[in-house]
Chain A
Amino acid sequence: MPKTLIAALVLAALAPLTFEVKPRQGVDFVLENSPTSQKYLIETMPGGVALLDYNNDGLLDIFLVNGGKVSDPMQTPESFDRSNPKYWNRLYRQNKDGTFTDVTKQAGLANAGDGNYGMGVAVGDYDNDGYPDVFVTNYGKNTLYHNNGNGTFTDVTEKAGVASGGWSVSAGFFDYDNDGKLDLFVTRYMEWDTKHSKTCGGEWRTYCPPEEFPATTSILYHNRGDGTFEDVSRRSGIPSKKGRALGVAFADYDDDGFTDIFVANDGMQQFLFHNNGNGTFTERGLEAGAALSEDGRRLSGMGTVFQDYDNDGRPDIIVTELPREIYGVYHNEGKGMFSYQSLQAGLGELSSGSSGWGVGLEDFDNDGWKDLFIAQGHVLDNVEQIDPSLKYKELPLLAMNHNARFERVDSGANAPWAGRGAAFGDLNNDGWQDVIMTILGGPPQIFMNRGGKQHWLVISLRGTRSNRDGFGARVRVNGQTRFATSAGSYLSASDKRLHFGLGSNATATVEVAWPSGSRQTLNGVHADQFLDVVEPEKP
């Protein structure tokens, strides 16, 4: 091989990965968080984003959750003017040419409820009809939209019995009892309302820390399979501990065949709900070593991801935090134990001056190691006045994974933002993972992966005995493992397809452990394709 060619190949391999960050035609959404002088805490917490293929045309569409109008001060009864189009949630359908069309109204998603201030979104096919359904969390009542399969949705909240109340934040669909039907977990932040709000910070007048308000419980709904859900929180043991939950992610951390729940709590210990396999959960965060920092300190947990970052086959946990803390990396040691590995993973240097929210572990450079993307920006919009060393608007963190150690690279972001939600998926079906990030008071930022020469494989699961989305399945490809889910991050739902970077491998061995217990192995799978894997109907 000529030396010049070798040099070119080496340079190509070493070239920094970059995203192209630019507005996508047709996506004209602005996240209206409506900051006021009252410093209502809700204003700084939205908003979620989902990447889903709602019309099954093979192209990812975008659903964005809006905040609402907040009066200064708020009157009772609270109204957030959500019937005003400015404050609608929005669904953007992707067209074949990569542009988007706003289909919110025709899809039946315009009515978010005037009493609801929008927060997050979860996506899952709860009725196994092949079309993804959408659950929107709010400060107020939550909303479940059933996908009718014809481009429209129906608000089925009342029938389904999942409105709950209070301040819901992140949510996710998962099948905790392996009955083949997706259940629903909803985190709630705290007991708070605009009437009982307060400001902190003395002369600076700013948002209060979470400790100023009472903790509350999260909610677990069991899917009855008839379009309705039952609130099984009490029976399941989930409310045994009150938290200030912001993020949630799912995986089977102890490999007992039942999906467990990790809850990122703000300003207190994190919760790891172990699924006992009998409809109940036991909170084991402290005992398992996944509740506090290495020094036994409480963390300001916000977003979280529950995937395997070091390719040992076991799901690890990453939690995003506030500055002066380090993003938590809880490495799964096996036997149900975790160890705090933030410094070893390189996050001490990368994170302790930053505030992280949405987070994803995705193999952006297709080298076979999952990289890290974190939406960043401080909670307090006047933090620079209080502490000039901190910044309200920050660049997102993109860190590449080199043998389980993360190193910062240029994300391609051209300005700092107050980042919040983040969802991950392959928007243009080129085999390279893209990112969409929401920002307070602005349009979402879409990071289109410029791609490269490495191989990849994207897998779509179709459960038959398991839930149709295959959520909870453990998929191994050439020594890498992903746990099938659309949940995780902060307030957001990612592409349910499972993406693997294969490096220079042109073929792959695919092993799927379905929630039903059945296992499948596919050998000699060609790289660079979108592979559908259907669960065998018989064990």
Chain B
Amino acid sequence: MIRIFITLFLAWQASSPEVMQHLQAGADAEKNRQYTVAISEFRKAAELDPQSAENFVRLGQAYLENRDYGGAIPPLKQALKLSPEMLPAHQLLGYALLAQGYAAQAIPHLEKARDEAALGIAQLEVGQLSDAVKNLQSALAKNPHEPDLIYYFGRASGLLSKESIDNLLATYPDSARAHQAMAENYYVLRQMPQAESEFNEAIRLRPDIPKLHLELGLVYAGSAQWPKAEEAFRAETKLQPGSAEAAYRLGNALLQQGKVKEARAELIRSDGLQPEMPETLYSLGKAASQEGDSAAAEKAWKKVVELENGTPLAAQAHFALAGLYRKQSKPEQAEHEMEEFKKLQNNGVANEEAPPAQ
């Protein structure tokens, strides 16, 4: 269960001095993390004033703090009997039930309390995946640096995705989308022959599905089968002439085969479709350099350096610029770029994976 601290600002109703004494002693014990003492004090207060929902909530909270979730449930239920709309009681009872494994029972209480994080977790536990994803995403937007939330969101999304795919495979096993899903699974597992076969089957059934050819191209690129990669990326660019990624991938496949002129044209097209993409610009610089157009190469790589800051791609651009300036007999500029590259290299950046050129 996620660790969320709530502060209850319960207005202590007019109580007898004896009750007040126990409540105060319980609060002091809580501060000192003497939860068993706090439980004892809050219990006495609840016994002396059994009509006070707040006293039962305090007792339930003390149990929760003592990680005795089972013990927290009866006083919190009692609190809700006395005051059915009391939101802190719903929230705490939701936590207690969720922690005890009663996720389904926790859900209405957490809904009432509008606690998206805990509700999302409870929904994840009972398999209400799309609701879980929605609530966890919303909670994560408000608290983006909470690792527990990130974990549960990732898990819920993954399971939802798997559930959808399983559904697809069970219901429409011979559909293009089913083959695509299988192919993508194989791709992730690096089982490339199987991925290739499934992508090809998907394409045979529905050659018009966007990104299918692109994904097949990536399979070929991953194993350096550049002519086949080129063919697949070319098919994608025909299908989606407005796709900057398809043009970029095709440009790179051409570049790998030394078809520099064609590669450059395709990379320029990609840059036009989606300007200022650092990966495209970096490759464009390579193509320009190979064509002997040093000015264009310099411009593209300088832009990469400007767009990227301390990333592996920036390191690559510095390195490329150093080479370019060396060729141009500009030793000072070459040295400067090499120094920038070395700085990133020493920081361990230069050999990190940059976005793939293949």
Q: A interface vs B, CB < 8 Å?
A: 286-287, 289, 292, 294-298, 323, 333, 335, 337, 339-340, 343-346, 348-349, 351-353, 387-389, 405
Contact = CB atoms under 8 A, between A and B. Distances in A.
B265 interface: no
Contact of A339 (B224, B257, B319, B327): B327
Contact of A289 (B192, B226, B323): B323
A252 to B, nearest CB: 20
B350 interface: yes
A348 B256 contact: yes
Given A287-B338, A343-B290, A388-B193, A296 B223 contact: no
Interface centre among A295, A298, A348, A353 (most CB of B within 10 A): A295
B256 A389 contact: no
A335 B226 CA distance: 34
Given A344-B290, A348-B226, A349-B224, A292 B319 contact: yes
Given A353-B223, A389-B222, A295 B319 contact: yes
Given A348-B224, A353-B225, 16 more contacts: A287-B338, A289-B326, A295-B319, A295-B320, A296-B341, A296-B345, A323-B224, A343-B255, A343-B256, A344-B258, A349-B257, A349-B258, A352-B256, A353-B223, A388-B190, A388-B191
24 contacts: A289-B323, A292-B319, A295-B316, A295-B320, A295-B354, A296-B316, A296-B318, A296-B341, A296-B350, A339-B323, A343-B255, A343-B256, A344-B258, A348-B226, A348-B255, A348-B256, A349-B226, A349-B227, A349-B256, A352-B256, A353-B223, A388-B191, A389-B190, A405-B258
Given A286-B338, A343-B290, A346-B258, A296 B224 contact: no
A388 B192 contact: yes
Contacts of B358: 352
B315 interface: yes
B77 interface: no
A294 B286 contact: yes
Interface string B232-270: 000000000000000000000001111010000000000
A286 B323 CA distance: 10
B320 A294 contact: yes
B126 to A, nearest CB: 34
A477 to B, nearest CB: 28
B15 interface: no
Nearest to B350: A296
Nearest to A346: B258
A421 to B, nearest CB: 25
Contact of B326 (A294, A295, A337, A388): A337
Contacts of A335: 329
B351 interface: yes
Nearest to A295: B316
A295 B285 CA distance: 11
A323 B192 CA distance: 15
A389 B320 contact: no
What's the dominant secondary structure at chain B's contact region? helix
Contacts of B257: 343, 346, 348-349
Given A295-B316, A296-B350, A333-B327, A353 B224 contact: yes
Given A295-B316, A349-B257, A389 B323 contact: no
A309 B254 CA distance: 23
Contacts, number: 74
Nearest to A353: B224
B232 to A, nearest CB: 15
Nearest to B219: A389
B324 to A, nearest CB: 10
Nearest to B260: A344
A482 B316 CA distance: 34
A298 B224 contact: no
A387 B187 CA distance: 11
A344 B329 CA distance: 22
Nearest to B342: A286
B296 interface: no
Contacts of A405: 258
A278 B255 CA distance: 43
B351 A297 contact: yes
A537 B22 CA distance: 113
A294 B350 CA distance: 12
B357 interface: yes
Contacts of A323: 224
A185 B63 CA distance: 75
A181 B290 CA distance: 43
B185 to A, nearest CB: 14
Interface string B186-228: 0000111100000000000000000000000000001111110
Contacts of A343: 255-258, 290
A348 B341 CA distance: 24
A353 B319 CA distance: 25
Contacts of B319: 292, 295-296
10 nearest A-B pairs in the assembled complex, by CB-CB distance: A296-B319, A352-B224, A348-B256, A353-B224, A389-B192, A295-B316, A389-B223, A349-B226, A296-B316, A343-B258
A386 to B, nearest CB: 9
Contacts of B329: 335
A295 B257 CA distance: 16
Interface string B321-358: 00100110100000000100100010000110010011
Contacts of B260: 344
Contacts of A348: 224, 226, 255-258
A323 B256 CA distance: 15
A298 B351 contact: yes
Contacts of A337: 326-327
B220 to A, nearest CB: 11
Contacts of B351: 297-298
Contacts of B227: 349
Contacts of A353: 223-225
Contacts of A286: 338
Contacts of A296: 315-316, 318-320, 341, 345, 350
A286 B257 CA distance: 26
A131 to B, nearest CB: 45
B357 A295 contact: yes
Contacts of A352: 224, 256, 358
A393 B50 CA distance: 81
